[in-house]
Structure 1
């Protein structure tokens, strides 16, 4: 992904937003309304008053139903819990709408497969909101990693949002960091180190969980995940080791505001050209398979 530079010459993509929670207000609505590549055409949420609050600053329509939202957009962005996304995204795909999807695709592998299958069957464009993949610093790290010989890697994604506040929501508290933070870190490790062939986990996803990953090239990586630890700021770090000096990636110094124009341009370009990026629903299903491996290995270990 690269920072947009050339003028946008296509008509803006009319995007309907599903969801009106904190993330929808803080990111999706604001990003989609900013243009010029997209326009926020409508908002639908199960709480009409929340939808009104999200839509009002941008003059977007408040849809009375999901079907009404589909009538007033050419693409749909989801900012809802995984189970809700897995229920509604296939309907949007069957209606011919491009999809901007949150991670994970669904609450489990079967639900994620239904989303990915619907996208493939309908032939619509899809894209995942893997936030950090849309930052120039991430591009630079991954480019450097491609040129490095990597023997092993250590990584972490840690924060305290599950301890309280607006992001301590039901599905996050139920499933924990593996389902919420795992897709980010697994995607980065898989891309930086090499395709992951096996994942094992230990610990409690609602408190602290450790992942051990085996990669196709023989490298081994480890990942620590928690959303329930008191840290001064979110810690997202990857260190790659090999015969040369370590290569490190740390998000502490990056400005996430730089991600949104890149994400928006990538999605709109994919919609207008019909060519999705590599971060599509197929990628989301791949990441969900890795998460399922981790879940099963932990359950098998506990049973033993």
Structure 2
């Protein structure tokens, strides 16, 4: 499958590019970015061509892998789907629900496959853990804490990301938390009264309380402003099967991205939607938008 790589930032350099290059059934057909000089540098690194015209890249590839801010990603994903390209998108699909819904509509009209790169959902050990938990009945409570020092002195290029600075941990790591809780505890309907409740903490910290359609409930604590010594990721479930804690991540994004490419290839070849596709991406955007609306209403 010939992929167009959209984006030239650290995630394209660290995950998308190396993941595509490592996959035996993927080829980087070209690179497009909003800064032509950065696109050329990344294209040189991965021995491919830089494109000035994104639509020309769509015409020359079978799929796109997108490493762009969400509200830049969404309209380009629409155009790529209309051009017949399968979509490997980053999370969140968009921070605007209407934009995320337009991507879903474009995918359905074009009949292309889609996958959203929720990193832990594609890590083999974590995916296996989730599959086991989803096969067990009686889960009542869930908890997902995503605590990082991105804005608290961490040595990371993501601290300079304008969209992360504006939207904070709610939109950056909130999708990861939801992608781990929903497969086991069930869907959350953000339009249902009381299904989504949010509150602010220190810095950009946000607390979520969720009521799932199954009757289970969960909480999420999301932050990019904890000190390094207080950072960490925890996903835990409580119920009739006991207490289960998700395995810790420690192998970087590239193996997970290779697995995401596998999932897109499978969905494109079989015609069966992947459970981590743009429809899940839309639901995640709907839940986070409902939480953000509550926070804004409280000032």
Same fold? TM cut 0.5:
yes
The whole-number CA distance in structure 2 between the counterparts of 1:195 and 1:29 is: 33
Out of 83, 100, 122, the position equivalent to 1:95 is 83
1:83 shift after superposition: 1.2
Report if aligned partners of 2:91, 2:116 keep a CA contact under 8 Å in 1: yes
Give the length in aligned residue pairs.
Answer: 290
Alignment of 1:124 onto 2:104: no
Residue 181 (structure 1) aligns with: 173
Mapped partners of 1:205, 1:113: distance in 2: 32
> 1-side partners of 2:278 and 2:71: how far apart?
15
Distance 2:18 2:202 in 1: 31
Give the root-mean-square deviation of aligned CA atoms: 1.9
Secondary structure of 2:14's match? helix
- 1:180: Cα distance to partner? 0.9
Kindly provide the CA deviation profile for residues 142-183 of structure 1, in whole angstroms up to 9, marking residues without a partner as x: 133221422212220111123464112100010111111111
1:153 equivalent among 118, 142, 154:
142
Work out whether residues 42 and 60 of structure 1, in 8 Å CA contact, stay in contact via their aligned partners in 2.
Answer: yes
Of the three residues 163, 167, 170, the one matched with 2:158 is: 167
Superposition misfits of 4+ residues, deviation over 6 angstroms: none
Question: Aligned in 2, Cα 1:38/1:205: closer, same or farther, shift over 3 Å?
Answer: farther
Q: Which moved more, 1:244-253 or 1:187-196?
A: 244-253
Aligned to 2:59: 71
Q: Is 2:277 the partner of 1:280?
A: yes
Secondary structure of 1:36's partner? Answer: coil
Asked whether the equivalents of residues 15 and 253 of structure 2 are also in contact (C-alpha less than 8 Å), the reply is no
Q: 1:252 to 1:76 in 2, by over 3 A?
A: closer
Question: 1:59 corresponds to which residue?
Answer: 47
Q: Are the counterparts in 2 of residues 162 and 172 from structure 1 also a CA contact under 8 Å?
A: no
CA offsets, 1:194-230, max 9 Å, x none?
2223211100696100000001222211110001222
TM-score (norm 2): 0.90
1:292 aligned partner: 289
Q: Which runs of 5+ in 2 are unaligned?
A: 190-194
Which ranges in structure 1 are unaligned for 5 or more consecutive residues? Answer: 1-12
Q: Secondary structure at the match of 1:15?
A: strand
SS of residue matched to 2:246: strand
TM-score by structure 1 length?
Answer: 0.89
Change (3 A) 1:40 1:127: same
Which of 221-230 and 250-259 deviates more? 250-259
